[in-house]
């Protein structure tokens, strides 16, 4: 989930069905019993070489599920005249697709043609959290891979500039609640954001103020030093919380101190219900982890039009 690149909100949504009941945590127990070990090993190996892998996998999973459901459409390559989701503006900075490729290769060697790329992506996101010090959980499995991937659909992703009503609409259209919104925002415990996703808060905030008054002044100064008004440094940006490679509840503590990056983060403090949950999660890591697991299972159970078990995660069969 981590840094979502700002994009204009599109009101037109493709219908996404509610969480599917056909998923089962023991779906592959007979057909591919060593599936989860293979996926975990692929994630572990990648993490040894690149500490940004967990944040990348979590964000990739979120971006997949919010468009056409969790059908691995985000993994498909652009082909011919069709520009795929991964090449849409909010997804340009997605990376670590090779981790899914490596996991799929290992799984295919054991159980050819059995396990979907969609399930491998969901398992990888769970492992990304668990291997970063966060909770683990049983992942319901049995998804199918989709055959449609369009860059234009990425307009549907919630942007970092969204206010609370825009976020509520985006989540409710996918069968997710305000409680899910607050819990899943905790995915910002991992990762990094480029300046473009939060520059609206530190330069020309509105007609009368240059800086968003809800940001801590010292934090705003540090962000402006990294991201000047006419920033020319391509990879300039900031980490999403103070412990960017550890999955914890620091995100919520910083949010209450005015030290969050995105307008969408700050918006969680603008309604009594969501602010109460932020405060609860800031106080209790265990309460946050319990809620996060429940919301991740709900989000990962959104099904779309998956039809097949892809042999290559980057291409339809």
Annotated catalytic residue within 61, 63, 188, 203: 63
Active site residue 63: yes
Q: Which residues of 248-269 are buried (b: 16+ CB within 10 A; e: fewer)?
A: bbbbbbbbbebbbbbbbbbbbb
Q: What are phi and psi of 150, to 5 degrees?
A: -125, 130
Residue 86, judged by CB atoms within 10 A of its CB (0-12, 13-18, 19+), counts as buried
Q: Find how far residue 157's CA is from the centre of its chain.
A: 10
The radius of gyration computed from the CA coordinates of the chain, to the nearest angstrom, equals 19
Query: In 3-state terms, what secondary structure has residue 308?
Result: strand
Task: List 192's β-bridge partners, or say none.
Answer: 239
Query: DSSP secondary-structure letter at 217?
Result: H
Q: Which residues of 148-163 are buried (b: 16+ CB within 10 A; e: fewer)?
A: bbbbebbbbbbbbbbe
Secondary element (H or E) of residue 192: strand 192-194
Contact between residue 277 and residue 182 where contact means Cβ atoms under 8 Å apart: yes
d(CA 126, CA 61): 9
d(CA 299, CA 125): 12
Active site residues: 63
């Amino acid at each position: 989930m981590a840094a979502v690149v700002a994009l204009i909100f599109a009101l037109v949504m493709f219908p996404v069905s509610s969480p599917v009941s056909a998923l089962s945590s023991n779906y592959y127990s007979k057909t591919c019993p060593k599936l989860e070990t293979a996926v975990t090993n692929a994630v572990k190996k990648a993490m040894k070489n690149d500490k940004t892998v967990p944040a990348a996998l979590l964000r990739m999973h979120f971006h997949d599920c919010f468009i056409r459901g969790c059908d691995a459409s985000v993994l498909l390559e652009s082909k011919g005249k069709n520009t795929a989701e991964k090449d849409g503006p909010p997804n340009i900075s997605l990376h670590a697709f090779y981790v899914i490729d490596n996991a799929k290769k290992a799984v295919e060697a054991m159980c050819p043609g059995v396990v979907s790329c969609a399930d491998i992506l969901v398992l990888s996101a769970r492992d990304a959290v668990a291997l970063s010090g966060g909770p683990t959980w049983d992942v319901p499995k049995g998804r199918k891979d989709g055959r449609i991937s369009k860059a234009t659909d990425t307009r549907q992703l919630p942007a970092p500039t969204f206010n609370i009503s825009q976020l509520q609409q985006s989540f409710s259209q996918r069968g997710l609640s305000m409680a899910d919104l607050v819990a899943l925002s905790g995915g910002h415990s991992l990762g990094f954001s480029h300046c473009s996703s939060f520059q609206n808060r530190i330069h020309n905030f509105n007609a009368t103020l240059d800086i968003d008054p809800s940001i801590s002044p010292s934090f705003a100064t540090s962000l402006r030093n990294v991201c000047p008004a006419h920033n020319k440094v391509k990879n300039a940006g900031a980490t999403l919380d103070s412990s960017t490679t550890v999955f914890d509840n620091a995100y919520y503590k910083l949010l209450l101190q005015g030290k969050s990056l995105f307008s969408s983060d700050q918006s969680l403090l603008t309604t009594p219900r969501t602010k109460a949950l932020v405060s609860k999660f800031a106080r209790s890591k265990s309460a946050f982890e319990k809620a996060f697991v429940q919301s991740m299972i709900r989000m990962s159970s959104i099904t779309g039009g998956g039809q097949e078990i892809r042999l290559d995660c980057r291409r339809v069969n």
